[in-house]
Amino acid sequence: MSSRVRPAAAVAPQFTLWIVAMLLLVLGSWPAQLRAQALPVQALPDFTELVDRVGPAVVNIRTLERVRQGSGPGMEIDPNVEEFFRRFGIPLPGRPDPRRGPRGGDEEPQQRGVGSGFILSADGYVMTNAHVVEGADEVLVTLPDKREFKARTVGSDRRTDIAVVKVEASGLPFVKIGDSDKLRVGEWVVAIGSPFGLDNTVTAGIVSAKGRDTGDYLPFIQTDVAINPGNSGGPLLNLKGEVVGINSQIFSRSGGYMGIAFAIPIVEAMRVSEQLRSSGRVIRGRIGVQIAPVSKEVAEAIGLGKPSGALVQSAEAGGPADKGGVEAGDIITKVDGKPVDRAGDLPRMIGNTKPGTKISLQVLRRGSTKDLAVTVAEFEPDRPARRASEAASAPTQKSALGLVVTDLSEAQKRELRVRGGVRVEAVEGAAARAGLREGDVILALENSEIADARQFNQVAQKLDKAKAVSVLVRRSDAVNYLVIRPAR
């Protein structure tokens, strides 16, 4: 008896229907939670309309200085970098601008630096970083349509690195301000600026972290957007084309982009800019304490639970905290009922409080919680940065550490309440990599107290160049140790 073989064509439709039915049955039986984990596929964003809309309001900022020929420290530049600048016709900082013709005399202005900014209003207010315009004799603002204006600095705040400049014009394109508090980690963001002087360069990436504490006055937005020298002061934008931050810093061991960039949250920047526009300076509160973070070990030992709050290392004699009963060893856990999660939160919370306001501090002292009333005082305003032409008149000498320092005046010593020390006028090489900045005051070098620039240079000359060097530095009202390590 012969067996009947069915044609494949007859079997296929029934088999296919059976497979589909089984798949539907299996998929329908999946838990709802597993089905929810299937993320929708999204296309990569298109930034073209955003750039067309916002780009005209992003400006290039050049600063000029008037210095005598032969004055100031020399700058050692890698030949490859110098060739890159030469090919694109970009003047190097501290070198004459070849596009402006030969210098006409000892006081002919020369380019000092390049940065970015963005127009806040149609009548010509521009926001940028304080370090972009600090100490400049002239500030020039160039729009994407090639119009150039000479700007005046309305106000500059070094603690937040925010500056506002003004150009005399009307009907200018301007940006829309967003809400940096609503940013989410993983969100797409765009930067527009002038890296290496290349105007209106657009880069994009995502928000890598929020509230990143880098030791400065503000918590930063961390991104992986490509940021390089010249991007400083430019806008960080969300996909709506709103400014959510100001590109300010990069983490780098080479001086160039290494995948980590930091932006100042626009909410904080606008608060500062409003004060700069109204009074030319920022008024902050202070209570006169030196603080440090609370470690996990200390928190567990004293019964705090988790490492939070600000450990008071010292209270200024006769200062607001001292008068209010704050003692060294106290841990400040709340300000007016708001928790102090990290030590860096305290100066921000106090700084945003109007001087003369009475606040309540909750402190943990030897296992007990106390509430103390403290009246906030006013923070001393920043000293205006000396212009390059003024600094050029002072005798300078580059030390073996790559630093140019000058003596402090008696008035500066009284203001800083120090007996000696030197002010950093220029910094490069290993000292710059260690974090030293122009304007820092060096109080000690390798445990030797520094009285003046002459002594500093003598001590620096005797140091072993193969060993790390400790430097006690005062920046604003904070003192810290930095370590200058030899190049490897």
Question: Which residues form the catalytic set?
Answer: 131, 161, 232
SS3 308: coil
Q: How far is CA 186 from the centre of its chain?
A: 20
Token output for 309: 């709050």
Degrees (nearest 5) of the Cα angle 203, 209, 210? 105
- Please give the full DSSP string across 179-194, using - where no structure is assigned: -GGG--TT-EEEEEE-
The beta-carbon contacts of 456-460 under 8 Å, at least 24 apart in sequence, are 456/399, 456/405, 456/422, 457/397, 457/399, 457/405, 460/399, 460/400, 460/401, 460/403
Among residues 246, 153, 139, the alpha carbon closest in space to that of 191 is found at 246
Token output for 272: 């500062």
Measured CA to CA, the distance from residue 427 to residue 406 in angstroms comes to 12
Total residues found in the chain within this entry: 488
**Amino acid identity at 88:** F
Measured CA to CA, the distance from residue 141 to residue 149 in angstroms comes to 5
Token output for 40: 């929708």
- Please give the full DSSP string across 212-239, using - where no structure is assigned: E--SSSSPEEEE-S---TT-TT-EEE-T
Token output for 474: 């005062």
Measured CA to CA, the distance from residue 362 to residue 333 in angstroms comes to 6
Q: Tell whether the torsion through CA atoms of 175, 234, 163 and 382 is positive or negative.
A: positive
Measured CA to CA, the distance from residue 273 to residue 177 in angstroms comes to 13
SS3 416: helix
**Amino acid identity at 278:** S
Q: How far is CA 9 from the centre of its chain?
A: 71
Under 8 Å between Cβ of 225 and 260: no
Q: How far is CA 12 from the centre of its chain?
A: 67
